Amino acid sequence: MVSPRFVYSLYESRLQKRLPKEDLPNHIGLIHDGHRRYARRENLLSYEVSYKIGMVRFKECLSWCDELGISYVTSWLLSRENLLRSEEELETYFVVLNELFEELIIDDLVDNFKIQFIGSTDLLPDYLKETITRLQEVRGGGEKTLTIALGYGGRQEIIDAIKSLVIENKGKDPEGLVEEINDEQVREHLYLPDAPDVDLVIRTSGESRLSGFLLWQSTYSEFVFQDVYWPEFRKIDFLRCLREYTQRERRFGK
């Protein structure tokens, strides 16, 4: 009897070979949703178990992106709204994140990635902030870029960009400043001024909304909403997302 794993492997290989490389996205945004619902469905002992499984999937997904030559990956691992959860639940998640970041410091999986963070990282525990600092120092170079969004909110990013722009132009005539402000000036004050706009946003767990993810940068993004929870997200699911993306006609509002 042929094993399901073997069949999936053949299907994955076939899918990947048929993807037109020239049409693959340059920048992918990932919303890793569904850890808690997965834990409840599977009757896991705690959310910590599903979080750890999710981080394994996170690293696997990075390897898939690297293999396919995707240059920019932005992963939303914690929203500003998530910070309103109970202290006990947050601490569990923070510990798992810290373990992940410590692994990324030494893991050759991310040798090709520069790693950077966006969001309100100042609201995170000190030990997590220290690990983030070390990770960015060690992984400060690479031909590809991994951006991890922690304590991130799209509205807050735009608010911060406008504040920064106003402060930079302090002393200018307000009416003149209003007339001068344009898309490019605002973009220069976003968290990722040098990153290209997101081509494809993938969200797992069946939720069909952005929830504020990269609002400015995703204006002309394509969206694929997967029904599976992030801890069960497979390479075959990822390849299907890419296949759907390559089959779409991008018009950029035209």
**Catalytic site positions:** 33, 82
How far is Cα 247 from Cα 14, in angstroms, rounded to an integer? 16
Helix (H, G, I), strand (E, B) or coil at 140: coil
Q: DSSP readout, 168-222? A: HTTTS-HHHHHHH--HHHHHTTSS-TTSPPPSEEEE-TT----TTTTTTTTTT-E
Phi-psi region of 252 (alpha: psi -120 to 50; beta: other; left: phi over 0): left
Sheet holding 222-225, edge to edge: 113-118, 144-149, 72-76, 27-31, 200-203, 222-225
**Owner of token pair 């409840």:** 40
Indicate the Cα dihedral angle 59, 63, 69, 71, nearest 10°.
Answer: 20
DSSP structure class, residue 234: -
Dihedral sign of CA atoms 99, 26, 189, 223 in order: negative
Smallest Cα–Cα separation from 222: which of 200, 192, 241, 250?
A: 200
**Owner of token pair 């997967």:** 226
